[in-house]
Structures are given as structure tokens and as C-alpha cells.
Amino acid sequence: MQEKIRAYLSEEQPDTPLLVVDLDVVAARYDRLQAVLPDQEVFYAVKANPAPEVVRLLQARGASFDVASAGEVDLCLACGADPATLSYGNTIKKRADIAYAHERGVQLFAFDSEQELEKLAEAAPGAQVFCRILTSNEGADWPLSRKFGCDLDMAVDLIVAAAKMQLEPVGVSFHVGSQQRNPAQWDPPLAQVAWLFDELAEKDIELSLINLGGGFPAIYRHTVPHIGAYGDAILKSLGRHFHHRSRQPRIIAEPGRYLVADAGVIATEVVLVARKAYTDDTRWVFLDVGRFGGLAETEDEAITYPFTTPHDGGPTGPVVIAGPTCDSIDIMYEHTQYHLPLALTEGDVVHIHAAGAYTSSYASVGFNGFPPLRVVCI
Ligand SMILES: *Cc1c(COP(=O)(O)O)cnc(C)c1O
């Protein structure tokens, strides 16, 4: 764990559950991503962790923002962001929210359907728009497939339609799936984007923007390639598919998880350790945080957080790890092998690592009377 978070937790002994975010780690991640992908612009996907401290820090470092709602537009503007640095990347927007963002100066919007384009033409006339295409999401631990994007033939037609509707079609976006463990997964969509650039050029539409999406990984229990491998693979693909062009495209990336996940630790208290039968070796460990308290990405046990306890080093045994609410889906890990110390007991504080992304923003407002996950940024 980061020394700064360890010191904070041991000095303050705060009430649990609590997410502690080390802003130095967020800053270092931002700088590293810029180093491995030079000449690209970073649009932070605000939904990963909307703490104002995180948004302000990234804004001060020169980041732009990927937003998905009027609330996220307001948050970024309140944190000092220039509306021209916001990309409204959700392809499913309420008409009123499009108008709201446009009135506040947001210029760039995503679409993947004709119906959405019609809303944009009416509520954000003249805006710059980009088309999101479908990708396979193979290799991703938290896929975003199916719900977003359109196929290539449809993308051609929609981009032509956008120009006819007095919108300014500027480019194409995709997302290879979140927690993408294979850096080669950016290549197929980049080949498709290159094909689209060529198709549209034949129709006298010059596209200039490539949005690489997110997908850059955090370090959970599985090993993942170094971020440099992602930079190399993407730069190589860009070179392969775009080197022959007279005008180099504007490249943007939208990291969420990579910037904030490893910066956060959740401190949680053991509420109960119990067995279901005398003959059963597996202990059930109930924590004061669970599916509804922010660990929503444990659905299907997709994201496997590393845990540490005060008894690490002693003998361990198999456990099921569950949350405190009266809902039986509030079980984090039942099929994934987790072993925790036999000495673990009620009142122990357990640390959940790499928990800075998609946790506080996923916590329920108070299911079963448990308050939403508190966040402190240090
Ligand atoms: C959620 C999201 C991201 C961030 O994805 P990560 O995998 O967390 O980096 C980027 N772009 C869009 C459009 C998103 O919805």
C-alpha cells in the first residue's frame, strides 16, 4: 500500500467503511499515461471517481473530461474546467441534458444512432460530433460491449447524415472494454477507424478525431502488462493505419480506471466471521462494505480486489466474502478462491486495494440504511 495511505489510516483510525484516495498517485498516473502516449489528449472519464479533488487535480494538470450527464458537466465546470475541454461521450442522452450542456459551452458530443443525431441537431445545433463504433471487448474483465456503438456500415451513413443535419462530424470513438488485459485489442478498431476515414473522404467528409476510449488497466489480483506496452501497441497501430495520411489525426484517450483505481484503498471492518456447518471448512467473512456500498464490480466476480488484514503472514483458510446488507446478492466472492487468515475476527480492519475506481460512484444512497461510501482525498 502507498505509505501515505497507510500512515493516514494508522494515525487517524477513521470510522469504516472509508475510501482513501492518494492524489499523488492520480497525478503520477496522469503523467505516466502522457509519457507513454505523447501527442494525445487525456479526457478523464469522470464516472470512475467523481471526487471534486480528483477532478480539480487533473484539471490543473491540463486534463480534459469525458462526461455522461448534466451532473458531470456541472461538476467539471464547478472544478474550473473550460467547457471546451468537455466531451459528452454518452451515446444515450436526454434531449434536455444535451441542450443544457450545449448552452454551457460543451462542443463535442458522441452518437451511435440516427435518433440520437436528430436530438443533437435540434438541441445542440452546429456541434462537433463523433460516432462510436462497436468493438469486441474480448480480453476485458469489465466489458462495455453491446450497449454502445454501431457497426461500420451504419457509421458511414450516420456520419454522412450528421453533416446533412448541420452538425460537424469530426471523428470516431470506440472502447475496447474496461480493464482490458491485452494491449493488442486497440489494433482491430483502429483498422476500422482508418477504413471509415477513407470511406468518408470519398464522400468529401474529412474526419480528424480518433477517440481511443478507456480500458487501461489497474493492478488487481491478475498481472497485467505494463502501461508502456499499451503505449507501444497503440502507437504502432496508429503508425500502421495512419502513417500515409497528409494530416495526422487528433488523438484523444479517455482513461478512468487507470488514473484512479490504484490510488484508492477502502478500509472496512469485519462484522462477523462464521461457518454454515460444523463440517464446512469455508468461513463466511462479512464486511461493513459490500455490493451496495461500492463494490458493484464484484458482480460475476469480474473485478477481484486484493485484500490485506492485520493477521497477514499467519495460517489462512478459504473464505466467502460478503457485505452487510439483507440481500443475498450482496456476496462479493463465492467462486473465486480467496484465503484469509484463520485469526481474522470481528472488529479487524481489512484493507481493500486498487479500490479508487468505480466504487464511491457505484455506492447506493442508503440501501438497508447503510450510508453511501465516504471518500477522503489526501
Ligand atoms: C467509462 C468510460 C471510459 C473509461 O473507461 P476505463 O475502462 O475506466 O478507462 C471511457 N470512455 C467512455 C465513453 C466511458 O463510458
Q: Ligand 1 centroid vs 236 CA: distance in angstroms?
A: 22
Catalytic-role residue among 76, 79, 326, 377: 326
pLDDT band of residue 274 (cuts 50, 70, 90) is very high
Cβ of 29 below 6 Å from ligand 1: no
pLDDT at 215 over 80: yes
At 287 the pLDDT is 98
- Ligand 1: which residue has its CA nearest to atom 1? 45
Determine the atom of ligand 1 nearest the C-alpha atom of 357: 8
**Residue-wise pLDDT tens digits, 1-57:** 689 999 999 999 999 999 999 999 999 999 999 999 999 999 999 999 999 999 999
At 14 the pLDDT is 98
- Ligand 1: which residue has its CA nearest to atom 13? 89
Give yes or no for a contact between 135 and 145, defined as CB atoms under 8 angstroms apart: yes
Cβ of 171 below 6 Å from ligand 1: no
pLDDT band of residue 138 (cuts 50, 70, 90) is confident
Cβ of 137 below 6 Å from ligand 1: no
**Residue-wise pLDDT tens digits, 43-81:** 999 999 999 999 999 999 999 999 999 999 999 999 999
Share above pLDDT 90 across residues of the chain, in percent, rounded to a whole number: 94
Determine the atom of ligand 1 nearest the C-alpha atom of 258: 9
pLDDT at 117 over 90: yes
At 2 the pLDDT is 80
pLDDT band of residue 331 (cuts 50, 70, 90) is very high
Q: Ligand 1 centroid vs 49 CA: distance in angstroms?
A: 11
Mean of the per-residue pLDDT values for the chain? 96
Determine the atom of ligand 1 nearest the C-alpha atom of 177: 7
pLDDT at 143 over 90: no
pLDDT band of residue 317 (cuts 50, 70, 90) is very high
In Å, how far from its chain's centre is CA 87?
Answer: 15
Cβ of 143 below 6 Å from ligand 1: no
Spell out the domain ranges in the chain: 50-255, 262-377
Cβ of 356 below 6 Å from ligand 1: no
Active-site residue 79, yes or no?
no
pLDDT band of residue 243 (cuts 50, 70, 90) is confident
Share above pLDDT 70 across residues of the chain, in percent, rounded to a whole number: 99
pLDDT at 145 over 80: no
pLDDT at 344 over 80: yes
pLDDT at 371 over 70: yes
Cβ of 214 below 6 Å from ligand 1: yes
Cβ of 291 below 6 Å from ligand 1: no
pLDDT at 142 over 90: no
Cβ of 254 below 6 Å from ligand 1: yes
Q: Ligand 1 centroid vs 316 CA: distance in angstroms?
A: 37
Fold of the domain spanning 50-255: TIM Barrel (3.20.20)
Q: Ligand 1 centroid vs 145 CA: distance in angstroms?
A: 12
At 174 the pLDDT is 97
Q: Ligand 1 centroid vs 336 CA: distance in angstroms?
A: 25
Q: Ligand 1 centroid vs 357 CA: distance in angstroms?
A: 11
- Ligand 1: which residue has its CA nearest to atom 14? 45
At 135 the pLDDT is 92
At 1 the pLDDT is 64
Question: Residues near 308 by Cβ (< 8 Å), separated by ≥ 6?
Answer: 1, 350, 351, 353
Cβ of 257 below 6 Å from ligand 1: yes
- CATH number for the segment(s) 262-377: 2.40.37.10
pLDDT at 125 over 70: yes
- Tell which residue, 311, 313, 312, 307, has the closest CA to residue 351: 307
